[in-house]
Structure 1
Amino acid sequence: MRIEIRPSALDHLISEDEIRTVVSFPVLRVIIAARREGAAPVLFIGPAADSQPWIEVIADLAETAVAEVFHAMMLRPGLVASLGLDEFIDPDYGPQRA
């Protein structure tokens, strides 16, 4: 799958390499509700490297050969709790970068 990164995905200072790593090797992948018709958003969660804080990345997979990443930031405990993921993962959290 080709990974395309929109400028909005870089707003929180997560690097393109970190984004590509989390999308390619997620600890958890969750289908989330679409906010626009025809979208197929997927949340990818995991660290970009061993012993690093976890990152959340959202990509639109409407086109099966392309992951169009539009959001990336340090994983938030509130997101994990709101999706009921705390029973599945025990992530390392880090401070937001921006």
Structure 2
Amino acid sequence: MADIDSLIPLEQAAHAAHQDLINLQERFASQGEEGVRVPPGEWSEEQHAECDQLLRVWRERAEAFHAALRESDDRLGAEKAVKKAVHHPEPAAEAA
């Protein structure tokens, strides 16, 4: 059975991989002249290969998270708690 503490690092890894993919896509798209965005259809083969690699990493990490999530007794509750912890963490309490 998967607990919240074991699921959080898996979701963090998937989220980081997704952010890496988004950043790469933004970097490639912003390489046009005079601020003109470059659509994916105009990327080089090397750029597509790099994007595909990051897409595979994101997919593998997301699949690992969901595979572990399936082991939870309360899948919906666990997913909600993990997503909240990763994407909307509570502010840390200030020390007195």
TM-score interval (norm. to shorter): under 0.3
TM-score by length of 1: 0.20
Q: Normalising to structure 2: TM-score of the pair?
A: 0.20
Structure number with higher helix proportion: 2
Q: Which has the higher contact order (CA 8 A, sep 6+)?
A: 2
Greater percentage in strand: 1
